[in-house]
């Protein structure tokens, strides 16, 4: 297409449509809205012991990762809403300076969210497509916004909202044809494996949040996950067994002026993904206190059940925190429940958080953690070891430079023990482990129109 024509079309979108919408507003109520938002979020990291202790002879990882996201939102009054969010996640330097082909990987754009949100009745909505699921404090289902890629699900959502209650539900059924060399036109059979795909075969999730009073709110959750891993043999699909695991429980949130208590309890039953019988639980309690207008303190304890080392039985007590934002809860250095194992030992986390707002645009934070295992830890001679896994200190700061530009950073250190080195399989870990990071978040709304 001629560049002059493209320029005219862009001019029309940016200038004529908004003005047309403004003219129509005088005659009738505006029905349609369209906006485009962008986000660029690079983060520089010095990893001298993030995820696991570095051992003697290992060099720190130093890198810059980046999220580039473009989000388009459309709304027709309250009856219909749509969102398409495209993103690229990359590490600086992995893309060639001269891109002669639209290569996959670090050069490609992916679909982070793409859904339609339809109003079925005054208090009932449905959302279908790729979407984030964020419940309560992101303990079990969260956006994972810390990660450059974030987290989304392919699902169908129904939500019923009342004056003091909200009951959303989600349903998902997944296939993974690419792993078997199949395509969208596959005529027969089903094929699913979690390799480079959603981790579950199907999902059923029901959540309810109820405001009991101005000071008290409860939430309840029931979730069933079906795990499955099919295989191919001689071009024939060999169907794997479906293992269903249930998670049930809830939260109580209190709000008593300066005091903000919270209690959380969940239980898991059924079958784990590996087919073992599941009986596990999570218990958590926290008390937040606003000591003064700029100073907030939180004392809390999390307990996630686990197995003893070398558990050979057909029953597991390992609680799976599912698809929450684990980085938020169990230490910013991500030693636990973030893509790397700790020998299914479970976790007890005693923490104390300090948040101090030095100005309207600047906040400082200091989180301290003391970690212990829930299950027994055995050494190579099958001798029981201490459950002490060490401690972590996390210092963070946030600075709002402009309304659409924010600067964040932090420094963390982990004080490890022999037991932690055992479950992390890092017997020769260096004494000092730390992690330093700095990120800028640029997220403007670059276009908006009503028509």
**Phi then psi for 186, rounded to 5 degrees?**
-55, 120
Which residue would you say has higher pLDDT here, 39 or 180?
Answer: 39
Confidence of residue 104 (pLDDT cuts 50, 70, 90): low
User: What pLDDT, on the 0 to 100 scale, is given for residue 417?
Assistant: 98
Give the separation between CA 275 and CA 244, rounded to whole angstroms.
9
Tokens representing 42 are 């690079």
Range 161-164 contact pairs with CB under 8 angstroms and sequence separation of 24 or more = 161/123, 161/124, 161/125, 162/123, 164/210, 164/211
The β-bridge relationship of strands 315-316 and 277-278 is: parallel
Q: Which fold has domain 31-450?
A: Porin (2.40.160)
The β-bridge relationship of strands 32-48 and 61-76 is: antiparallel
User: What pLDDT, on the 0 to 100 scale, is given for residue 102?
Assistant: 61
Torsion of CA 412, 416, 420, 424, to 10 degrees: 60
**Phi then psi for 430, rounded to 5 degrees?**
-70, 160
Give the separation between CA 347 and CA 263, rounded to whole angstroms.
17
Answer yes or no: are the C-beta atoms of 41 and 324 closer than 8 Å.
no
Average pLDDT on 382-396 reads 98
Residue 343 pLDDT greater than 80, yes or no: yes
Residue 323 pLDDT greater than 70, yes or no: yes
User: What pLDDT, on the 0 to 100 scale, is given for residue 348?
Assistant: 99
On average, the pLDDT of the chain sits at 93
Residues in the chain: 451
User: What pLDDT, on the 0 to 100 scale, is given for residue 120?
Assistant: 98
String of b and e for 278-310 (b: at least 16 CB within 10 Å)? Answer: bebbbbbebebeeeeeeebebebebbbbbbbbe
Could you tell me the residue ranges of all domains in the chain?
31-450
User: What pLDDT, on the 0 to 100 scale, is given for residue 3?
Assistant: 44
Cβ neighbours of 85 (radius 10 Å): 22
User: What pLDDT, on the 0 to 100 scale, is given for residue 21?
Assistant: 46
Confidence of residue 150 (pLDDT cuts 50, 70, 90): very high
pLDDT, one tens digit per residue, over 325-341 is 999 999 999 999 997 78
Confidence of residue 203 (pLDDT cuts 50, 70, 90): very high
pLDDT, one tens digit per residue, over 392-447 is 999 999 999 999 999 999 999 999 999 999 999 999 999 999 999 999 999 999 99
- DSSP string of 226-258, one letter each residue: EE---EEETTEEEPPPPEEEEEEEEEEEE-BTT
């Amino acid at each position: 297409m001629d560049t002059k024509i493209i320029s005219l079309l862009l001019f029309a979108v940016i200038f004529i449509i908004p003005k047309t919408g403004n003219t129509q507003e005088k005659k009738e109520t505006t029905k349609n809205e369209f906006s485009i938002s962008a986000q660029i979020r690079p983060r520089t990291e010095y990893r001298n012991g993030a995820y696991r202790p570095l051992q003697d002879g290992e060099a720190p990882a130093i890198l810059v990762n980046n999220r580039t996201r473009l989000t388009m939102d459309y709304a027709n009054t309250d009856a219909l809403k749509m969102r398409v969010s495209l993103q690229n996640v990359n590490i600086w330097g992995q893309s060639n300076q001269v891109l002669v082909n639209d290569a996959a990987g670090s050069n490609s754009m992916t679909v982070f969210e793409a859904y339609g949100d339809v109003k079925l009745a005054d208090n009932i909505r449905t959302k279908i497509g790729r979407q984030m699921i964020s419940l309560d404090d992101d303990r079990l289902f969260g956006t994972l916004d810390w990660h450059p890629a974030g987290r989304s699900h392919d699902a169908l959502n129904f939500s019923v909202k009342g004056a003091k209650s909200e009951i959303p539900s989600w349903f998902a059924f997944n296939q993974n044809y690419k792993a078997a060399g199949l395509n969208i036109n596959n005529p027969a059979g089903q094929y699913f494996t979690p390799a480079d795909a959603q981790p579950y075969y199907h999902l059923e999730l029901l959540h309810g949040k109820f405001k009991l009073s101005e000071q008290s709110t409860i939430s309840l959750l029931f979730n069933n996950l079906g795990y499955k891993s099919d295989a191919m043999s001689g071009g024939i699909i060999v169907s794997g067994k479906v293992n269903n695991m249930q998670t049930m429980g809830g939260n109580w949130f209190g709000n008593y002026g300066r005091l903000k208590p919270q209690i959380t309890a969940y239980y898991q039953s059924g079958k784990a993904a590996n087919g073992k019988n599941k009986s596990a639980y999570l218990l958590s309690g926290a008390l937040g206190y606003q000591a003064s207008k700029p100073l907030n303190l939180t004392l809390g304890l999390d307990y996630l059940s686990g197995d003893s080392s070398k558990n050979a039985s057909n029953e597991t007590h390992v609680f799976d925190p599912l698809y929450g934002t684990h980085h938020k809860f169990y230490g910013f250095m991500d030693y636990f429940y973030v893509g790397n194992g700790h020998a299914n030992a479970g976790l007890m986390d005693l923490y104390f958080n300090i948040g101090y707002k030095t100005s309207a645009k600047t906040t400082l934070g200091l989180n301290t953690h003391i970690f212990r295992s829930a299950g027994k830890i055995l050494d190579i001679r099958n001798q029981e070891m201490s459950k002490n896994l060490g401690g972590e200190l996390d210092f963070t700061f946030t600075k709002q430079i402009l309304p659409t530009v924010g600067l964040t950073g932090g420094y963390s250190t982990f004080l490890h023990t022999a037991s932690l080195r055992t479950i992390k399989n890092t017997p020769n870990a260096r004494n000092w482990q730390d992690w330093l990071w700095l990120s800028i978040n640029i997220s403007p709304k670059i276009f908006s129109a009503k028509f």
